[in-house]
Amino acid sequence: MTQRNLSLSKDKIRILLLENISERAVECFNAAGYHQVECLPGALPVDELVERIADVHFLGIRSRTRVTERVLDAADRLTAIGCFCIGTDQVDLAAARHRGIPVFNAPYANTRSVAELVLAEIVMLMRGIPAKNAAAHRGEWLKSARASFEVRGKTLGIIGYGHIGSQLGILAEGLGMRVMYYDVVRKLPLGNAEPADSQDEVLERADVVSLHVPDTAETRGLIDAGELARMKPGAHLINASRGKVVSIPALAQALEQGRLGGAAIDVFPSEPTSKDEEFVSELREFDNVLLTPHIGGSTHEAQQNIALDVSTKMTLYSDNGSSTGAVNFPEVNLPDHATARRILHIHRNEPGVLQAINHAFSEAGINIVGQYLQTLTDVGYVVMDVETDDAGPVLRRLHDIPATIRTRFLY
Ligand code: NAI
């Protein structure tokens, strides 16, 4: 296990940003006083990353860079990783935690983008546009008002009333829709939305059902044949959440039988990994289904928000020690430390460590004016605000505690 002390001035801190991360991130780092920022357009293969990572303090990646245990072993100075995207599967999160490296991401920076797309899809579906559009591309002229409705006064049923679901509800009310929702957690309604007692109630009453749940064991197959059968005849289904939430064979059957008016699907159980791979789905044959390639959150604005969100979390961790928003690491939300020095200690979460830490301070004769602790499974993160300008003796003692993973000293 690596053990080291870090107390660097900002001009020595090196930041490497891969995969064409938005310029907004660089601006944010610069504004916080970090000027050693190197940006590369693409992902680096593991071998090259292993070579380049040795003197990097903060690494920014998107989804194509793999941060494996081998990369982390070579990352002697790495203090934090920022995933400038939503997912963090590309990083070995446990291995990073064991080395005292928090990983940050931006889970909600594209909320608005998804909500806007879904809003547009509601209008398109209610007017039967997907089928009319497909027909027009083939030279057919389906000029008819049959099964074509305004959205005003219709009921939107939202399943999963979190960041996206609740924002969608507000936007849909702006178009005059009635909004009802079901969430497994009791959520206060925004605007005039009406909470439902069950998912079934939403399925049975809504003209359009939109899914905004996470991917969990409970939500896989959440919408199957039984749920689709509960929906009103001619109702529409939208899924821009996760691919496994809807049973695609069951949806295809409901469409085949003409029980649903249409659907808009952005996420699939299996998705091509690049544009060179064919998109295969039973839904391709249905003109009344709007198919989009998992782009619900893919907008220029979302990229900018992601850049701002992740770089802010990284600079806060660097400047103040707050690990708020880390996905693999104990979350400590710290106040300013203008009047005290701050020592950050990351350790294996073993019995007796805190006692050893407190002993190190008392032996060094240093007074602790504030102490914050959080643990996550096998790792603990304790932050001490102290009244001393000479932290050397206590840092040496902390370093000698066998469970120490790393320490940092902030002026
Ligand atoms: P969130 O975590 O803010 O909200 C999810 C809500 O679902 C929570 O309120 C939770 O209590 C609720 N929930 C969980 N299980 C449920 C169940 N069985 N029934 C009803 N409600 C349940 O998440 P957020 O940010 O709103 O995202 C929602 C989904 O959208 C996620 O799956 C996310 O991965 C996906 N997403 C898709 C994007 C795309 O490009 N298509 C972009 C961004 C997010």
Q: What gap in Å lies between CA 81 and CA 331, rounded to an integer?
A: 15
pLDDT band at 62 (very low <50, low <70, confident <90, very high): very high
For 4, phi and psi rounded to 5 degrees?
-160, 165
For domain 333-411, say whether CATH 3.30.70.260 is its number: yes
Tokens read off for 248: 């695609």
Ligand 1: residue whose CA is nearest its atom 17: 184
Q: Would you say the CATH fold of 111-291 matches that of 1-110+299-329?
A: yes
pLDDT in tens, 122-174: 999 999 999 999 999 999 999 999 999 999 999 999 999 999 999 999 999 99
For 17, phi and psi rounded to 5 degrees?
-115, 120
Chain mean pLDDT for the chain: 95
Burial (Cβ within 10 Å: 0-12, 13-18, ≥19) of residue 249: exposed
Residues carrying an active site annotation: 242, 271, 294
Neighbour tally for 242: CB within 10 Å? 21
Q: Which of 83, 119, 161, 164 to mutate to test the pocket of ligand 1 (most atoms within 8 A of CB)?
A: 164
Q: Which residues, in sequence order, are bridge partners of residue 341?
A: 386
pLDDT(2) > 60: no
Q: Class of the 1-110+299-329 domain?
A: alpha beta
| Average pLDDT estimate for 58-64 | 95
Gyration radius from the chain CA atoms: 26
Neighbour tally for 200: CB within 10 Å? 13
pTM: 0.89
Q: Which of 108, 171, 181, 183 to mutate to test the pocket of ligand 1 (most atoms within 8 A of CB)?
A: 183
Q: Which of 113, 114, 210 to mutate to test the pocket of ligand 1 (most atoms within 8 A of CB)?
A: 114
Q: Which atom of ligand 1 is nearest to the CA of 117?
A: 41
Query: 128 in ligand 1 pocket by Cβ < 6 Å?
Result: no
| Average pLDDT estimate for 87-106 | 96
Query: 296 in ligand 1 pocket by Cβ < 6 Å?
Result: yes
| Fold annotation for 111-291 | Rossmann fold (3.40.50)
Residue 1's pLDDT is what? 42
Do residues 84 and 60 lie in contact, with contact meaning Cβ atoms separated by under 8 Å?
A: yes
Residue 179's pLDDT is what? 98
pLDDT in tens, 350-399: 999 999 999 999 999 998 999 999 999 999 999 999 988 888 899 999 99
Per-domain residue ranges for the chain? 1-110+299-329, 111-291, 333-411
Torsional class of 59: left (φ above 0), alpha (ψ -120 to 50), beta (otherwise): beta
Q: Which amino acid is at 335?
A: P
Q: What is the CA(211)–ligand 1 centre distance, in A? A: 8
Ligand 1: residue whose CA is nearest its atom 9: 162
Do residues 294 and 267 lie in contact, with contact meaning Cβ atoms separated by under 8 Å?
A: yes
pLDDT in tens, 9-27: 888 999 999 999 999 999 9
Q: What gap in Å lies between CA 112 and CA 195, rounded to an integer?
A: 21
